[in-house]
Structure 1
Amino acid sequence: MARRRAWRLTEPAPPRAVPLVVREGIRRIVAPNPGPMTYNGTNTWLVDWAGGIAVIDPGSDEESHIDAILAETGSRLSHILLTHTHRDHLTGAELLSRRSGAPTCGFARSADPNFEPAIKLREGERVAGLVAVHTPGHAMDHLCFATDDDVLFSGDHVMGWSTSVVPPPPHGDLASFIGNLERVRDRDDRLMLSAHGPAIENPRELVQSLLDHRMAREASIAAVLTHTPAPLENVLARAYINLRPELRAAARANLLSHLGKLEAEGRAVNMPEGWRATT
Structure 2
Amino acid sequence: MFLEEPQPLRAQSTHVTEGVKRLVANNPSKMTYHGTNTYIVETSGKTFVVDPGPVEDSAHFEAIIAALQGKPAGILVTHHHSDHFGAAPALRQRTGMPVFVSRAFPDDAFEPDGYLVDGQKIAGLTVLHTPGHASDHLCFATEDGVLFSGDHVMSWNSTIVSPPDGNMQDYCAQLRRLIELDSRIYLPGHGPVLEDPRPYVERLLSNRMRREKEILDHLTCTPATVETIAKAVYRKTDPHIAMAAERNVAAHLEKLCSESRVVEKAGLWRLAGH
Aligned identity (percent) is: 44
Cα displacement string for residues 143-194 of structure 1 (whole angstroms, at most 9, x for unaligned residues): 101112110100011111111111223x021111101101011113111110
Code of the residue aligned with 1:109 in structure 2: it is A
1:80–1:93: 8 Å Cα contact kept in structure 2? yes
The equivalent of 2:23 in structure 1 is 29
2:39–2:49 Cα contact (<8 Å) kept: yes
Contact 1:138–1:173, Cα closer than 8 Å, also in 2:
yes
Indicate the residue corresponding to 1:48 in structure 2. Answer: 42
CA distance in 1, matches of 2:116, 2:174: 18
Equivalent pair of 1:75/1:100 in contact (CA under 8 Å): no
Cα deviation code 1:57-96 (max 9, x no counterpart): 0112222111101111056321110000011111101111
Aligned residue in 2 for 1:99: 94
Deviation at 1:273, TM superposition (A): 5.2
User: Superposed, which structure 2 residues align to 1:1-279 within 5 Å?
Assistant: 7-61=1-55, 62-74=57-69, 76-169=71-164, 171-226=165-220, 228-272=222-266, 274-278=268-272
Structure 2: which amino acid aligns with 1:239?
V
For structure 2, list consecutive stretches of 5 or more residues without a partner in the other structure. none
Q: What is the CA-CA distance between 1:50 and the residue it aligns to?
A: 0.8
Contact 1:51 1:128 in 2 (8 A): no
Residues 72 and 258 from structure 1, CA distance in 2 versus in 1: closer, same or farther, beyond 3 angstroms? same
Q: Secondary structure at the match of 1:54?
A: strand
Unaligned segments of structure 1, at least 5 residues: 1-6
For this pair of structures, how many residues does the alignment match?
A: 272
Per-residue deviation, residues 21-60 of structure 1 (Å, max 9, x unmatched): 1122111000111111111100000110014111000112
Quote the offset at 1:212 in angstroms.
Answer: 0.8
State how far apart, in whole Å, the 2-side matches of 1:260 and 1:11 are: 35
Following the alignment from structure 2 to structure 1, what is the Cα–Cα distance between the partners of residues 210 and 221?
A: 21
CA contact (8 A) 1:269 1:276 kept: yes
**Could you say what secondary structure the match of 2:195 adopts?**
coil
Structure 1 runs of 4+ off > 6 angstroms? none
Instruction: Give 3-state SS (helix, strand or coil) of 2:49's partner.
Output: strand
Counterpart residue identity of residue 13, structure 1? Q
Q: Do the aligned partners of 1:81 and 1:105 also contact (CA within 8 Å) in 2?
A: yes
Distance 1:112 1:251, change over 3 A: farther
SS of structure 2 residue aligned to 1:225: helix
